[in-house]
Amino acid sequence: IDTWASVPQAPPDSIFKLTAAYKTDTHPQKVNLGVGAYRDDNGKPWVLPVVQKVNEILLKDTTLDHEYLPITGLPEFTSAAAQVLFSAGSAALKEGRISSVQTISGTGANHLAALFLAKFYQWNGPKQVFISNPTWANHKAILKNVGIEPVDYPYYDPKTIGLDFSGLLNSLSSAPERSVFLLHACAHNPTGVDPTNEQWEKIADVMLQKGHYAFFDCAYQGFASGDLDRDASAVRHFEQRGVPLLVCQSFAKNAGLYGERVGALHVVGATHDAAVRVKSQLSVLQRSEISNPPTYGARIMALILNDSGLFEEWKRDIKTMADRIINMRKELFVLLTDELKTPGKWEHIVNQIGMFSFTGLNTTQSKALLEKAHVYLTENGRISMAGLNSKNIRYFAESMDQAVR
Ligand code: PLP
């Protein structure tokens, strides 16, 4: 019997498809601006020096074994991860109101969060979560997988290549009370457009008025501005104001641990007692999903986060990555405006933050860049700034200039 005769062929993931096409391209000046992973100035993956050091420490440690971790993860990792996100002075942390569980990086945290909400959130009407338009494509899929309907809220304004703040506020005000809003803590993917601190305060005001729930996705702490505290300021502000919230945390980007899959889910409760109950249910869900999270990445991060010397080294490495990206933004802006006199306004390239930039190029222009210049980017005009370096930035700027003329 042909059991799977009716299974339709699924389309390939658009980002991974782009990378595959890039790899087979033989053009000498090809540029890959698709994938969201950091590259150094030679276009190569970068193992953070602090991670290299910790790898050597772990290799020499003869006390380590390959036993299972607890279901909710390595305790010295999850507690330190909560501290780096919320800060040591956080009231929720001091009062024991945060349930922290180690997850399969940020994706796993998003999944566990969605699964937990689907089961236990006090829904006011249908199970739906508001997501920014656009957002990381996986958000929709992850929510749908657990029976939650994703509903778009306005976020990006193509006219200003910036934030549609009034659209966002309207949507917050008109949504039913106790709605769940998925927010990018910093370095919004794919646009690179973040609310300012004053705008975050207004968002928190409306969320409190309406009793909304904040589902924070924090995949780029430190990577955006180069400063861990600054990039956590929206989450910390919401926590201080008492907005009910959870945070999905990833160490893929800020520690370059993409393949190690190390992250955490933090659910903030109103009381310590609530946090204990929430954690017990997260543990039950985790058990049936993955039994126990993986050890290696958690050991690396536990060492870095709990040792003041290693922590300082990590902060330096984060700054190296963030500064290189910020410099690429500045250089690209100068090339386009001062040198090439490319038609259009390009301030958004320096104003946007984090790994990605929404260039404002339309589908036709993006396709032309790919076909004529062998520059690989998604059709929505998003580029990964990490794919630019001192060797290819001029070629990219010239190709972009030609594409918009
Ligand atoms: N959330 C956002 C917004 C992202 O951009 C990413 C990665 O691209 C993730 C979550 C999760 O990444 P990972 O599962 O590798 O931590």
pLDDT at 13: 84
pLDDT tens for each residue of the chain, 405 residues long: 999 999 999 988 888 889 999 999 999 999 999 978 999 999 999 999 999 999 999 999 999 999 999 999 999 999 999 999 999 999 999 999 999 999 999 999 999 999 999 999 999 999 999 999 999 999 999 999 999 999 999 999 999 999 999 999 999 999 999 999 999 999 999 999 999 999 999 999 999 999 999 999 999 999 999 999 999 999 999 999 999 999 999 999 999 999 999 999 999 999 999 999 999 999 999 999 999 999 999 999 999 999 999 999 999 999 999 999 999 999 999 999 999 999 999 999 999 999 999 999 999 999 999 999 999 999 999 999 999 999 999 999 999 999 999
What ipTM does this complex have? 0.99
> Has 253 been annotated as catalytic?
yes
pLDDT at 17: 87
Q: Are 249 and 265 in contact (CB under 8 A)?
A: yes
> Has 217 been annotated as catalytic?
yes
Identify the burial level of 305 via C-beta atoms within 10 angstroms of its C-beta, where 0-12 means exposed, 13-18 middle and 19 or more buried. buried
Encoding tokens for residue 159? Answer: 């006219």
Q: Which atom of ligand 1 is nearest to the CA of 252?
A: 16
Task: Return the ∠ at Cα 153 (arms to 347 and 158), rounded to 5°.
Answer: 30
Question: How far apart (Å, rounded) are the C-alpha atoms in residues 181 and 208?
Answer: 12
pLDDT at 14: 82
| 258-287 residue pLDDT tens | 999 999 999 999 999 999 999 999 999 999
Q: Are 112 and 282 in contact (CB under 8 A)?
A: yes
pLDDT at 183: 98
- Ligand 1, atom 12: closest residue by C-alpha: 106
Encoding tokens for residue 85? Answer: 């996100």
β-partners of residue 265 are: 101, 248
Q: Which atom of ligand 1 is nearest to the CA of 104?
A: 14
Question: How far apart (Å, rounded) are the C-alpha atoms in residues 39 and 48?
Answer: 11
To test the pocket of ligand 1, the residue of 15, 136, 186 to mutate (highest count of ligand atoms within 8 Å of its CB) is 136
Residue 4 CA to ligand 1 centre (angstroms): 32
Question: How far apart (Å, rounded) are the C-alpha atoms in residues 122 and 384?
Answer: 38
Question: How far apart (Å, rounded) are the C-alpha atoms in residues 163 and 399?
Answer: 27
| Active-site position among 231, 253, 315, 317 | 253
Task: Tally Cβ neighbours within 10 Å of residue 65.
Answer: 6
CA distances from 160 to 136, 164, 177 (A): 21, 8, 30
Is cis: bond before 126, omega within 30 of 0? no
Q: Are 251 and 262 in contact (CB under 8 A)?
A: yes
pLDDT at 403: 94
State which amino acid sits at residue 174.
Answer: S
Give the sign of the dihedral formed by CA 366, CA 372, CA 374, CA 375.
Answer: negative
Give the sign of the dihedral formed by CA 48, CA 54, CA 58, CA 63.
Answer: negative
- Ligand 1, atom 6: closest residue by C-alpha: 219
Question: How far apart (Å, rounded) are the C-alpha atoms in residues 405 and 344?
Answer: 10
Report if pTM > 0.80.
yes
Q: Are 335 and 305 in contact (CB under 8 A)?
A: no
To test the pocket of ligand 1, the residue of 19, 38, 105, 138 to mutate (highest count of ligand atoms within 8 Å of its CB) is 138
Mean of pLDDT over the chain = 96
| Active-site position among 164, 194, 200, 217 | 217
